[in-house]
Amino acid sequence: MDFKLFKEMLKRIFFVLFTAAVLACHAAPKTQPVVEGVTNVKPDEQQQLVIKEVVNLIESYNYKKLEINDSISSIILDKYIKSLDQGKNYFLASDIKEFEKYRFTLDDDFKNGDLSGPFYIYNVYAKRLNEYFNYSLAQIKTKFDFNQNDTYTYDREKMPWAASSTALNETWKKRVKYELVNLNLAGTAQAKNVETLTKRYQNLQSQTSKTNNQDVFQILMDAFTESIDPHTNYFNPVNAVAFNEDMSRSFEGIGARLQLENEVVKISEIIAGGPAFKDKQLTPGDRIIAVAQGDAEFVDVVGWRLDATVSKIKGAKGTKVRLKVIPAGKEMSSKPVIISLVRDKVILEETSAKKMVKTINMNGKSYKMGVITLPAFYADFKAANAGDKNYKSTTRDVRKLIDSLKTFDKVDGIVMDLRGNGGGSLVEAISLTGLFIDKGPVVQVKDLRNKIEVDEDENTGVAWDGPFGVMVDRLSASASEIFAGAIQDYGRGIIMGSQTYGKGTVQSSIDLNKLVNPSMLQRMAGLITKNKTTLTSPTNVTAADINLGQINLTMAKFYRVAGSSTQHKGVTPDVILPSLYPMDKIGEDTEPSALPWDVIPSSNFKAVANLTAVKPNLIKNSEQRIANSLDFKYLKQDFAEMKKRDAEVSVTLNEAKLKAEREAQEVKSLARINELRAARGLPAIKKGEKPTKQDAFDFIEDESLHVMGDFMQQSGNYVMNLGLMPKNN
């Protein structure tokens, strides 16, 4: 979809708005109330400007065409409070009563760049959280009686807010007791459990104390944008980088995944193909205590936030970074090893398209099936725009896999596995569809001006013209639904699985910095330097220091080539399989702010086949297999138990009772595993033995492949024989 012209219009109008905002940014916000006993987090000038401009963008260009008013303000407040304290474990009833003064003022405050109210609310939350940590740490050493018949209410969402700290303390005390019971059941000594839990709470307290205004602003903006629609999102600078790296399936750095453990950054994984992988000096478990850029001085990073350390280690391709490392297994007092690495582009292959070949037997005949697993629709737009002929993209990767499946594996059919695929690049969804249809419309898009654009695959020929199927589930969304919907409308293949998510809206990613004249950024930097409000701000701020983040703004809706929207209803498979996910809790139709489903006229497309005649038998045969399947039987039982657990809000604190319940569950689980293993011709495992890879049987995939086998046997070659399918090019 080409939003170039529309974005140019947006840029011109937004520039005027932003210029006015910069000139008016001296309008003083309200004085933020001070919360005693905690370091108060305050918004900065950039955030005050961003909130004003996000309001302007939403009111001017969001598909809903709505005004940020008192009604929206009320929704934002509720969502913000819930995001901080969904379980009602921190705020008191008196706090909530005080916050009511913001219920119908946030809309006006945001338009004026005033964030004092939400930041005050966060600081109250931080104070309550700190009180909770201190109280809990004191309770850990309590001599609890684990033989009492008391209970811990872990889900207080539907309960009233606690009237006093004393009332809430009882909940916190029982939570500590519950955590100790769990540690006791793990078989370690109570003294050790007290030490473990103490360190756990101290670490939580330490990490919470590192929360900065960017974190708070992100929480607030999430509440704000979710009040508009589920897919309009603001990303602060750090999250914007993560989003774009995920889209491109690549980043520039050393190629290591990091985690925080006891205030120290530890390497959890070395990414294949990256600089660290090729250098072979770093290993999982190594701890990084200091970082230096090139030959500059080392900066100690012990106790830092994880994202802050990551930003120091990552950097532009070709630059050098030095690390002080305590090798895995060595004491922290050991002499560190200095490792020098040259950063490079790291490709995340494990999150890219992959293939495998499965053989199924149907009525005495075997079929080789190629399964292409696609986790997302990705593209490295930065590399593509730079002229890199080998830039990474979904369509390029899948085409190579198809060529391999045809040439080397010589498969009889191909299945595209889109389960869990939440979407991504619309351009890639269109071009990927083109690998399976000759050419023609793939998706229709209606913008906020009600203009309908038909996006087509314009490339003649296909990469695969044989039997084809698509697996989807409740987590398949957006671009996945466009692809699956087009395949279904064209009659190009069989769609199998459960009803998809129903995300049929189009978002345009807007880098807020690019919508502002550089001179305006410089003026803003001057104002920030003059009105310096945060200790973390540099003394002299330049335009290069200004990063306003990114907004993904809902600006249009998707429609299938046959005219039906994918919004809200998603794609209904030809052969419906039981869902692994609760349909009433996951999906666009569970989102209060979601746009509705509707229909527009069909595009001018020509189906390649009519598969209506073969579907009834496919459904009948699948239902028979499912009825006789132990895996699907247990899936049904799991949902019944899940529904029962959802109704529970408390758990016993009697150690003997809890132990008995868990042992009974373990016996039941072991019996189930062995029953399934027996059905697959595998020997039983004993208590304490770990399940093998063979136990991770993908019964949804297996049933889908059998549906494909049915399809290939029942339809024969009639599709090809009638000449309704284009040939390979």
Distance CA 561, CA 581 (A): 28
Q: Could you say which DSSP state residue 250 is in?
A: E
How, if at all, do strands 320-326 and 337-342 pair? antiparallel
Cβ pair 428, 381 in contact under 8 A = no
- Give 136's contacts (C-beta < 8 A, 6+ positions apart): 172, 173, 175, 176, 201
Distance CA 549, CA 237 (A): 5
Helix (H) or strand (E) holding 552: strand 550-559
Cβ pair 462, 489 in contact under 8 A = no
DSSP characters for 623-678?
A: HHHHHT-HHHHHHHHHHHHHHHHHT--EEE--HHHHHHHHHHHHHHHHHHHHHHHH
Phi-psi region of 579 (alpha: psi -120 to 50; beta: other; left: phi over 0): beta
**Sequence letter at residue 400:** K
Cβ pair 587, 571 in contact under 8 A = no
In terms of C-beta density within 10 A (0-12 exposed, 13-18 middle, 19 or more buried), how is residue 645 classed? exposed
3-state helix, strand, coil in the chain (%, to 5): 45, 20, 40
Distance CA 434, CA 464 (A): 10
Beta bridge partners of 684: none
Residues noted as catalytic: 478, 489, 503
Distance CA 81, CA 96 (A): 9
Please count the other Cβ atoms lying within 10 Å of the Cβ belonging to residue 267.
21
Beta bridge partners of 321: 293, 341
Distance CA 165, CA 176 (A): 16
**Sequence letter at residue 604:** N
Distance CA 322, CA 338 (A): 7
Q: In angstroms, what CA-CA distances link 538 with 108, 296, 439, 534? A: 30, 19, 55, 9
SS3 138: helix
How, if at all, do strands 233-235 and 505-511 pair? unpaired
SS3 186: coil
Q: In angstroms, what CA-CA distances link 466 with 402, 419, 566, 716, 720? A: 11, 22, 26, 11, 8
Handedness of CA 254, 258, 261, 263 (dihedral sign): positive
Beta bridge partners of 269: 257
What string of H, E and C letters represents the secondary structure of 213-230? HHHHHHHHHHHHHHHHCC
Distance CA 461, CA 268 (A): 45
